[in-house]
Structure 1
Amino acid sequence: MIRLEHISKTYSLAGKTVHALNDVSLQIHQGEVFGIIGRSGAGKSTLIRMLNLLEQPDSGQVWVQDQDITRFSGAQLRAFRQGVGMVFQHFNLLHSRTVLDNVCFPLRLAGIDRSQRQQRALEVLELVGLKDHANKYPRQLSGGQQQRVGIARALANRPQLLLCDEATSALDPETTQSILRLLREINQELGLTIVLITHGMDVIRSVCDRVAVIDAGKIVECGEVLDVFLHPHHPTTQSLLSESGVNADDWHALAEGVPGSVMRLSVRGVATTEPLISRITSQLGLNVSILQGAIGRIKTEPYGQLVVAVEGNEQAKAGLDALLTELNVQFEVLRP
């Protein structure tokens, strides 16, 4: 659905040239939830604003539905933007207008008559669970409810694409999870393509199908969330995971003085329910010590990752690779 080709963007700041984006190429598929993660100043906000041309690239092309939108201007660009919803970090609601009026606002700009826009506004308010609050004002709502109004407003024009610019950063953890659940439901029910930016790997893990990691204006890692989460390659990705409580190198201290080789075992889907350690010990007679481990879900798919020390005779160890392959376990040797 979306293809960015060699996008670059620079700014002049205090007499210096800042490369916000540097030769970025990226593809986002129809109907997926795509996450862009990076630290402050990495370029993620500039990148997401390229998708509706709130930022114009210095060079490169942005393709949406086989149209090069960097060529759009005037009425053509305004018509395109009506098909792109955007949800902001700080809600950006009109506080002097009711919830209903806030959601009607983009419909009024699109020239929809009053009765039709009110009907549509009530439909999307029901979708986000706020139909009973239609006549309230934003100040009468909680932060999570205000963000739901922002989402309803973004959906009012039946967009093909929903952009979320740090949509949960101003919310507490419980409210964040409720908003992420809502985004998952919207994606599933409407088949809507969602692109969100965040600095939190937990947000990516909860809602996204694929993720791009951006650092200093460049995409340094990109792929399915589960693959990136279980097998991070770039130091920036590893650091972001560590900050969210997933440190791939914690096993080193525990491995000191523990005999045997050290391996990292990764499983996904139904393989997480297999009695992995007991199979290894009973079938091969190996001693297995767990040095580090995590079991959880990424979006809806269960996963598990263990770092283990394996001790035993060489003949038994020789059969381990075959058994792990049979059990659909990915593995890597961390210490021979």
Structure 2
Amino acid sequence: VGMFSMMDALRATRHGALRVGDAMTRDLVLAYPADSLHTALQRMARSGLSLLPVVERESPDRLAGILDMRDIAAVLDAEVSAISARPQRPGEPIDDPLRAIRVSEAMNRKFDTVSPELTIKRLASRLASADRHAALVVGDDGSLQAIVTHTDVERALEDADRPLADIAVHNVVVARPNQTVAEALAQPGAEGLRQLPVVENREGQLVPVGLLRRSDVVAAYLRSRDRQSKIARRAAELADHLNGHVSAVEVRITRGSAAELKTLSELRLPHDAVVTAVLRGDTVVIPRGQVRLESGDRVQILASADARGEVLQRFSMRDPVKSR
């Protein structure tokens, strides 16, 4: 008949509700066993939820289970651990999307900032009304001072007239926009955190510009894996359409070449050519239109015989690094 979450509890406290039935959410967003994790995560993000009831399509009134962010994060952790444990030959790129995704691409740019003088009670009300799980405490100059989560607020509700400064975490682990997600998560103290404030240094002050939440990391990872699957299908379709008459080409981006600093979409490659990977150092960058090529990148392309010459021309190369 409904679902009762921590945010419902905070709203109940604000409105003085005494029964679960008075505060629970009745308009449920559901997941189904056959849904992909990406689909389920999109529903969570659109609805501002951290968990979904799972029901059978044929019997939507019967609960089959609960899918929450920890379940999805556990799958992500297992995949990343498997990647890390996989034997790697010297010089072989590591196929870990989190090493190719910048924090600026994954972070949420919508976040709450509050004054340290704000009371715990007022923050509880703000978090509940906005369905937020954390707020960043900033000074008069806009610099980051601390972070407060809904768990901190819940523990302090018995004495909620105190200022946030009494319960805020001041030793904050932060991320930078130009870090990779993997680098941000590997920082000492970042393990187990549900969110990292993302900051920029402006005139010596660390100013928040975003929030990297666990759900943002999972979403970025699943988007990357989904993109990889689409590229593989497109390459297979191209090979099938041309009866296997395609060649794999690898082009190295050189300093000063026409392709350096261009995005893949700006190259306007022919339709019967598919970029399957961009190798940057020891990392595999998943091809997307906005990926900007850098000197030293190796771009792997699957192309028809007719398109091969045009592809090389777009990269301003006479001969590729490899071809087969």
TM-score, normalized by the shorter chain, greater than 0.5? no
Query: With structure 2 as the length reference, what TM-score do the two structures score?
Result: 0.30
Query: With structure 1 as the length reference, what TM-score do the two structures score?
Result: 0.29
**Which structure shows the bigger proportion of residues in strand conformation?**
1
Where relative contact order (Cα < 8 A, 6+ residues apart) is larger, the structure is 1
